[in-house]
Chains A and B, each alone.
Chain A
Amino acid sequence: EAQVTQNPRYLITVTGKKLTVTCSQNMNHEYMSWYRQDPGLGLRQIYYSMNVEVTDKGDVPEGYKVSRKEKRNFPLILESPSPNQTSLYFCASSLLGTSGRERNEQFFGPGTRLTVL
C-alpha cells in the first residue's frame, strides 16, 4: 500500500531532550516536506527536500533540523526541544516533474502529536 509513515504518533518529552521523528514513504517520491499545524495558524512548512542530499528551509525552520540521506526517509530532528514546539507535525511527499514542479498531490503521513513540557 502506498503510504507515508511517521513515528512516533504521540510523544511527550521534556525541554532540552533531543528527539527525532521519522518519516518514510514507499512511493519513490522525490519531494518530501515537514509541516507543523497549530490552532489558528494552519499548516506551516518547516523544511522540505527536493531530492537526496537537497534540503531547504520552509517558513518556520528555527529549532529544527532535517536530513535526506535516502530517498525514502526524511527525519525531523529537534536538538533541544522547547515548549513552543508543542504541535501536531505532518510529513508529506510527492512526485516532481522534470521541470521541478510538483506532479500530483502531496501525500500526508498520519501526524505526530508532540508535547514538550
Chain B
Amino acid sequence: EDKVVQSPLSLVVHEGDTVTLNCSYEVTNFRSLLWYKQEKKAPTFLFMLTSSGIEKKSGRLSSILDKKELFSILNITATQTGDSAVYLCAVVVQDTGTASKLTFGTGTRLQVTL
C-alpha cells in the first residue's frame, strides 16, 4: 500500500520565521511529487518535482526532492500571515498500464502569527 507521511502535523510560528515542512513516501512506481496549499477552499498548486536534487523556487517558497531517501521538503522563508494554510504533499504513482494514481498525505497545518 502506498504511503505518504507529512510532518509536523501542525505548527505555529511568528511572522518572519522560516519553516520547513516534510513529506516522506513509500510507494511503488513513483512518477512525481506535488505540493499544494489549501486555505479554506480547494487546494492550489505550488510545485511538481520529478528529479532529485533540483530545487524548485517560487518567491519565498522552495522545494526539493530526494528520490534516494524518499522525501521532499517545502521551505517557506520570511513567513507572512497569508502563508497560514494546510500544506499538502501528494505522490503520483504509475498504476496499471499508463494510468496514474495520486496518494495524498494528511497535510501540515501552518499558522503564522503576528
Contact = CB atoms under 8 A, between A and B. Distances in A.
**Residue from A44, A50, A102 having most chain B Cβ neighbours under 10 A:** A102
**Residue from A43, A54, A58, A110 having most chain B Cβ neighbours under 10 A:** A43
Contacts of B107: 42
Nearest to A6: B42
Chain A interface size, under 10 / 10 to 19 / 20 to 34 / 35 or more: 20 to 34
A109 B34 CA distance: 17
Contacts of B31: 101-102
A40 B100 contact: no
Interface of A: 31, 33, 35, 40-45, 48, 50, 54, 56, 58-59, 90, 96, 99-102, 104-111
Interface of B: 31-32, 34, 36, 41-45, 48, 88, 90, 92, 94-107
